[in-house]
Amino acid sequence: MPGWSGLHLQDLTSDLARTFGHPDMAGAIVTRVDPNSPAAQANLQSGDIIMGVDGQALPDNRAILRKIVTSNGDVITLSVWRQDHSMEATLKVRPWPHMMALRSEVLASPEDVALAKTQGCGLHLAMLTDANRRRYHLSDEAGVLVDQVAPGSEAETMGFEAGDVIEKVANMEVKTPEQVKAQVSSRGNGADGDLVPLLVRGSSGTRWRTLYVGRVDVAQLVATPNELNGVGSARNAAARSR
């Protein structure tokens, strides 16, 4: 299961590095910290620059997020640049909140497994029609429309909003929801493909965003008849950990 820190990151530019007094463009700058997240508990804040994890210097947003999602359950130490000096922040990486909820629900029945498999990362996509352009006040954007974002999903956590337009998945321009799904599915089949970059135009401009598309084998979470007595305690434990 992928790890979650609650950090939202953006790659540094030369202007940002200079503005924040950072000596180079290595690392990634924090744009937002989720409330009640490991990052919030570690007192990280927007404007911090994450330079590395556990003593390993990391070059960019993608490398840092990859390190985080593979550190679930681990206590990690972040090298942080804040206000012209370096410091360290220690946090314990936890599972994504919606996946923790998923575990407690999936234990209920095989029907919940089927539902979980359809939820994906929380994005619902649509074609860019004239009606959709009017609805979201879009003009010449080319790509695929995000018309719904599931509450509590990874996509919502990563900042996706209804009205966003996905222009590229990695280096591939996309024009239909099917193209997005095909590109995401083809990349989510190994350690290097678990994080997929998407070029997204939204209310804050055009930015690269990443999504974790590794798959949790939810079928393994269904309780067998011999395990039913433990379902209630498993749910309560999951509820307490959220």
Query: Residue 25 gets which letter from DSSP?
Result: S
For the ranges 103-107, 202-206, 220-224, which has the lowest average pLDDT?
220-224
Distance of alpha carbon 67 from alpha carbon 71, whole angstroms: 6
The string of DSSP codes covering 192-232 is: GGSEEEEEEEETTEEEEEEEE-----GGGGSPPGGGGGGHH
φ, ψ of residue 82 in degrees (nearest 5): -140, 125
Average pLDDT of the residues of the chain: 76
pLDDT band at 100, cuts 50/70/90? low
* pLDDT tens, residue by residue, 176-201: 988 988 887 776 544 444 677 888 98
Of residues 66 and 174, the one with the higher pLDDT is 174
What distances in angstroms separate CA 203 from CA 139, 160, 163, 165, one per listed residue?
13, 10, 8, 10
- Most confident range (mean pLDDT) of 53-57, 131-135, 231-235 is 53-57
* pLDDT tens, residue by residue, 130-148: 888 888 888 877 899 998 8
Write down the pLDDT at residue 217.
Answer: 47
Residues 27-50 have a mean pLDDT of 92
Distance of alpha carbon 210 from alpha carbon 115, whole angstroms: 24
Domains, the chain, ordered by start: 3-95 (2.30.42.10), 122-212 (2.30.42.10)
Write down the pLDDT at residue 171.
Answer: 79
pTM: 0.49
Write down the pLDDT at residue 191.
Answer: 44
Write down the pLDDT at residue 73.
Answer: 73
Write down the pLDDT at residue 203.
Answer: 81
Write down the pLDDT at residue 118.
Answer: 47
Cβ neighbours around 227 below 10 Å, total:
11
